[in-house]
Chains A and B, each alone.
Chain A
């Protein structure tokens, strides 16, 4: 196997080749690190490359394999990148923020432990919107990641680096986090598979919290099978997270004739409302036709409270965030201002210097929504709206196995295009936010292009039906093969 295209191989393939002794972990790692070095100037997906550690681990893996060890793991030999809001022991974890610029966690997130237990080779931490607040990657304190399909465009956010790294073939797999669409939306904009598992499937221990009741860690991959493999490694019980459901997803096997016979799909009309790009709509219509051709029955349906989900989210998420980010105060870790004569000044200046404008906006909205006299009108009201959104989904899932929508109403927009008005940016998440409020699983799978830019189709399922979504997505992928498309990164690398 020529080393030059090793980086193009899927995780499933790499794992098989490694276990068979056809490719060494060191070879794989070196190929990937080379690719990263070449692509990074154009993409800027990574904040930190952990090359030395990865090579160390790769050497150990190789030696174990040579020694006859067969329990090397479902991701043995596979390079993975991790969004920089997941703690990695001894490796800086910045959350894309100045306030944690030099912060090095003394522990690993559960997902990191699980990856390592499965033999994965963590090659770096990826760029993101600061504290996962953003939909374009432009809120990173360390420069925006670029969309590999068009470097003048945003990759989406907040898991911008993780999506771009996979799309640019820098790594076959990466982890992101999804609070209002932060895995699915960049997956759609970058033309890769991205998934938000059911809330409670994947442990949040070690994920720097943004909105505790909405956050979930999710996989990025270039195809569904790879995505499922990563999902099966990270999902499962963890006693360190009290919101973890303690469940292990059923094992998945892909193969045979792709078919969706007997599957009932619903298409909620609210997701195709005004504001959807006509090309995006066209791609979705084509995708739905494909789903029908596979044997699924597809029907129109309604999730009437969809339009209010955005408002509810923009109260609930900031409210929880305002409390979660209070710990960044210059006392125990992270940035502390150099100019303070007393504690109050220290708090105020540290946080003013350390947080970017979007983070400040959300902290303030959240604080306001919880403050005396406003709690009922904002926070409580939002949680009541959440109930209505959940009921919409419950009613839909009484009829359908899954729902089909666009992941993003528009394809990737230009860098700087929406940064003047925070509200416009928020509207980018209309299709993804309701899913987080309900805690249901959803994934985005590439379904074509709009003016040369990727379009994603979102599949939404009921709680703990993640494996079903993956099956449906796999069938769709098999007959459409959008996963084969790769960005050229302008200039033949």
Chain B
């Protein structure tokens, strides 16, 4: 089962249930919750069941007078949950000092507990990992605490069988205290990276006060030694996320990540605005730029860069090297946007009157997508796995400069820096990408390499994804918690547009792989498969030779049982 809903959702819905919903039925889950590391029972652990599937009905536990209560384990870590009906149940356990997890959860997959008329009860051992934590101190160049630094924790996705780099996800934020100390507690085991963004306090305070600046003012009077900033700093002290150290936390680990920030000269960018549209607006509205950081932490949003604007000359200061998005807003006009790679030695002027170095890609659709409503096109940087640009065809907006074409020609315009991107379609599970072709850009499979200037990209889209389900067994017995992989036959063919699909078997050995792009695949199942080292490319081949070949036609619903392989 793929974990698609947060545990919190289960709790929230649970609260809504009337208190009278407890019933005596034959359907129940019993068991014991133990510490994954030590094997000792976990008393007073909260267990929350929720039904897996389209309807998310959730019930209260047996003893509960109170719908919130769910069920708690007793002093020996034991529990009994009565359920109102047969079905697939997701069981989430949470206890202070432990990671909140679904039953048999691994890398986002879990095993649902399947109750039927024939098997109305299931007894299990729930191994709950103790939580891990990460903490540290952020100090400045003088060894003094940096207060209010923003510390971000990213999860590094495990290596997948296809070897693709997954996008890092932001796990959480923390702010340093008066000692520069931060802490991320309650972490599940996994791989993490940490980054800090901060500005030197004195640089912020020393900004010239511009309120009363007269025309005779000599301009920027800021002492260069104070006109500094801190680059976005990744543990252990690098400014490139690719160079950041990955911290691997096991259950119960307490790790440290210390930071010493070193100021760099703040970079100033001159923004030249287009002439204001005086014809339609009379006086013409002034332009207001906002600056956003682009990259793994782009969720950070607007950078508090000091902006001075005197007679149309806009100076954006306080910038550290990095990729930024500058939005120029004037009145009610649609904002103009430019992506700027800020470097120590690079250009320091952004001229909104000129065409940029960026590639302007006109995107066309063909094939089954006669209605691409809700279809999203994402460009994922192939090296970092980070989305760089996204086009939502519903409103035709996006990071492109100027107006989007809104007519019926099924064209969309997107602007990205030169580079290699994987193109992803989202938002429409019924549609899929069968291939791409391009002018003034190179296309391989679902990867596009763009240079500067204008290019056009045609996305060939088809309708009707396939699905595969079945049962994994080992020597005739259904196997719980096995890893199921559906691997494209042409996995190492760069022109392939198919992708690896994955699931984990439920307590009845069942698995479900929905929304598969039609094509040639090999289906395989591995017992305890999550401990396999996928970094070694030959590893997958060992399993593939024992797999089941499948030819999935558009719209096919294939039932296929498979025998589990040893890890």
Are A and B genuine complex partners? Answer: no
What is A's interface to B at a CB cutoff of 8 Å? Answer: none
- B residues with CB within 8 A of A: none
